[in-house]
Amino acid sequence: MLIQDELNYDPSSLESEHQQLHSKLHVEQKNAYDIIMNAVNNKKGGVFFLYGYGGTGKTFVWKTSSAAIRSKGEVVINVPSSGIAVLLLSGGRTAHSRFHIPINLNENLFCFITLVNDVAALLNKASLIIWDQAPMMHRYCFEVVDRTFKDIILPKNNDKPFGGKTIVFGGDFRQILPVIQRGNRSDIVQTSLHSSRLWCECRVLCLTVNTRLHFGCPNNDFKETKSFTGWILKIGEGNIGGPNDGEVQVEFPEDVIVPSTGDHIHSVVSCIYSSF
């Protein structure tokens, strides 16, 4: 039933959707798409990381790749790291739900999947696995899944990461990293995907063009929005406020501050939902 659920799509409508989405890919997106699809079509496996800040079109690449593969009657597994992101990907399930990742992790555990499990059959059938918002997960999550895949993917291939499956991570290390209770900066860095033994297996594909800004922003707001997104990027990259070691005072522009003297929540709601 799990496999049937993942194949419950109309191939003709997906092919039409794929052609429409593919025609809108810009150069960077198409390069990433071609590399991913080449790995899928040649069935040679591989681990990729699609890296780009918000608005560069990572989700658009996911949708185009998923439509292309599903239109051929093949299985794509979408596993965002958060429940909210599930809403952006067709057929998405959180990584913990789909892979049965243990809640209390350590470096020696396996997922709760056996070789004769229905989930194992689904994973063997999958042509591509897309794992969005990967930077917010503890590195043990990826290592547990890698260890499990090597155990259940047939024919067994312990020499390749994730048992030889094609898997694409995505996200932005400027955004939320793993949340470590009472952890300091070093603790957080050590638990991120970038510190995992699997990172050296990842081929990084970069997106740098803010398509949301160029194609989704009204002309009269373009200059102001571009300035704001540039300011956000400078904060994320640690390039604002002069040289620093991770802590610096940042002065917020007046036009992004919501004025409030009493009920702060009401002030924020009124500002964002002023038309309601």
For residue 112, what are the contacts with CB-CB under 8 A and spacing of at least 6? 100, 102
16 near 62, Cβ under 8 Å?
A: no
Q: Residue 26: its pLDDT value, please?
A: 93
List of the chain residues with pLDDT < 70: 215-218, 220
Q: 20: burial class by Cβ within 10 Å (0-12, 13-18, 19+)?
A: exposed
92 near 84, Cβ under 8 Å?
A: no
Rounded to whole angstroms, the Cα distance separating 83 from 77 reads 15
> What single-letter DSSP state applies at residue 176?
P
Rounded to whole angstroms, the Cα distance separating 27 from 25 reads 7
CB neighbours of residue 170 within 10 Å: 25
Q: Residue 103: its pLDDT value, please?
A: 92
Q: And the tokens for 258?
A: 């919501």
Q: Which residue has the tokens 């991913």?
A: 36
Q: And the tokens for 224?
A: 């102001």
- Please tell me the pTM assigned to this model: 0.86
Is it true that the peptide bond before 253 is cis, omega within 30 degrees of 0? no
- Buried b / exposed e over 128-163, threshold 16 CB at 10 Å, is bbbbbbbbbbbbbbbbbbbbbbbbbbeeeeeebbbb
User: Strand 75-78 relative to strand 46-51: parallel, antiparallel, unpaired?
Assistant: unpaired
Nearest C-alpha neighbor of 69 from the set 112, 129, 27, 152? 129
Domains and CATH numbers, the chain: 2-209 (3.40.50.300), 213-272 (no CATH)
Amino acid at site 237: E
* 3-class secondary-structure state, position 158: coil
H or E element, residue 126: strand 126-131
Q: And the tokens for 81?
A: 């790291």
* 3-class secondary-structure state, position 21: helix
- Rounded to an integer, what is the distance from CA 232 to the centroid of its chain? 20
Q: Residue 65: its pLDDT value, please?
A: 96
Q: And the tokens for 16?
A: 């039409």
Q: Residue 195: its pLDDT value, please?
A: 95
133 near 177, Cβ under 8 Å?
A: no
